[in-house]
Amino acid sequence: MSRPLVGIIGNSYLINDQYPAHAGGTMNSEAVAIVSECMPLLIPADPRLVSVAELLETCDGFLLTGGRPNVHPAEYGEAETEAHGAFDRCRDAITLPLVRACVERGQPFLGICRGFQEVNVALGGTLDPEIRDLPGRMNHRMPPDGTLEEKFALRHQVSLTEDGVFHRLFGAMRVMTNSLHGQGIRTPGARIVIEGRAPDGTAEAIFVRDAPGFSLSVQWHPEWDAANDPVSRPLFAAFGDAVRAWAQARRPMPMQKSA
């Protein structure tokens, strides 16, 4: 029996700083294939090449990956500044309507880092362009030096809502996560439920209230060592279960709700 198909949202990339390509981290594909037990398919996030309608019919679920470019602030009603960093308007044009369609249909998706922020913006939320500049906030960015193991090392705790979706999924009220992001949620979008926060209050784990299907997103990078990490593994396993349920019946598998 063929595996259900997970569309992995790719990022624009320059090979040798000059050859345009669509790229996706190997660890994303490994997490989907090995832990979620689904077929990974890299999606060129460009409306000139693919449409949201085609993606919804082709794929059973979606992994909204991290990426260096940020969601353009025009998508949440703000002017572009230097602090907002680089952008990928083609990805914005695919992922934001894709999130809204998946929420409506109950088609499963898992958001990671930029994907977490995309889910918030798609549902009407806003972002802070550089949270380390805010009073009382930590520096959540990737360490500039060191090996991949050091860059993706666990750096801070995330506190979860008691008896919430994430608490039940992880079996713990507090989990350790890595941290590789500059932006963060300023105001949550309509129906966005924040269930996990870093020690400085930064939102780290969300889902969409009353979404008929799997709609979890995290600000950290669970794709790193997903097969072995005690937090990453149940997250990707639950995502895989939801994708299989959709593939078998084209109907959502309801998430557990917060009390």
Residues forming the active site: 113, 221, 223
Axis crossing angle, helix 89-105 with helix 114-122, rounded to the nearest 10: 60
Q: Tokens representing 83?
A: 């602090």
Which of 206, 230, 232 is closest to 219 using CA atoms? 206
Give residue 201's region: left, alpha or beta (phi > 0; psi -120 to 50): left
Q: Which 3-state string (H, E, C) describes the chain?
A: CCCCEEEEECEEEEECCCEEEEECCHHHHHHHHHHCCCEEEEECCCCCCCCHHHHHHHCCEEEECCCCCECCHHHHCCCCCHHHCCECHHHHHHHHHHHHHHHHHCCCEEEECHHHHHHHHHCCCEEECCHHHCCCCCCCCCCCCCCHHHHCCCCEEEEECCCCHHHHHHCCCEEEECCCCCCEEEECCCCEEEEEECCCCCEEEEEECCCCCCCCEECCCCCCCCCCCCCHHHHHHHHHHHHHHHHHHCCCCCCCCCC
